[in-house]
Amino acid sequence: MSTVTHLEMAELEQNLDEIRRSPQEEGKLALIVRRPQSGEREVIEAGELTVAEGLAGDNWSTRTPDVPLEPERQLTIMNSRVAGLLAQDEDRWELFGDQLYIDLELSETNLPVGTRLELGGAVIEVTPIDHTGCKKFAERFGVDAVKFVSTPVGKELRLRGMYAKVVQPGPIRAGDRVRKL
């Protein structure tokens, strides 16, 4: 991986119009990242979404018995344009820790809680949990990146991403169409 400098707020804000041009009804699944264990990432070409596991082989469903599963945090999704801007190199997208990167507008207006998306042979549903940047996010992408995704506009557009759960299992593949139902 190449060395990347973090973008400053002015540079990030200059790209808001491009992010806002994300498709609203139908987009594309750009990347799938599985997290087999904490801290590990695998970019995969294809995967299976299941109601029990989320992304099959991901560590979401393998928590210890004393930590209950949170179905409303089953999948993490990030807009691929935001990922591209903040990471500056697609080889760094997996550092976000999200599983699905899609070219679709994720705003609360476009995808309110309960909205269903068809991707590949599966259907997922947007959940009400807010997805926020953490300490690792700031270390990897810069303090201004955290501020950018945390502004009122950043929160409304869900620039840090969103959570979803699987409601209809099925196969997914990078490049699949993502369609709002």
Instruction: Tell me the pLDDT tens digit for each residue of 143-159.
Output: 999 999 999 999 999 99
Domain assignment present for 124:
yes
pLDDT digits (tens, 9 = 90+) for 37-60: 888 899 999 999 999 999 999 988
**How many domains, the chain?**
1
DSSP string, 25-46: SEEEEEEEEE-SSTT--EEESE
Domain of 32: which CATH number? 2.40.33.20
Residue 4, in any domain of the structure:
no
Taking alpha carbons only, the member of 160, 157, 155, 114 closest to residue 136 is 160
SS3 64: coil
In a domain, 75, yes or no: yes
Tens digit of each residue's pLDDT (9 = 90 or more) over 120-142: 999 999 999 988 767 788 889 99
63 in any annotated domain: yes
Q: For residue 1, is it within any domain?
A: no
Structural domain includes residue 3: no
Q: Is residue 181 part of a domain?
A: no
Find the domain containing 139 and state its range. Answer: 9-176
- How far is residue 39's CA from residue 47's CA, in Å, rounded to a whole number? 19
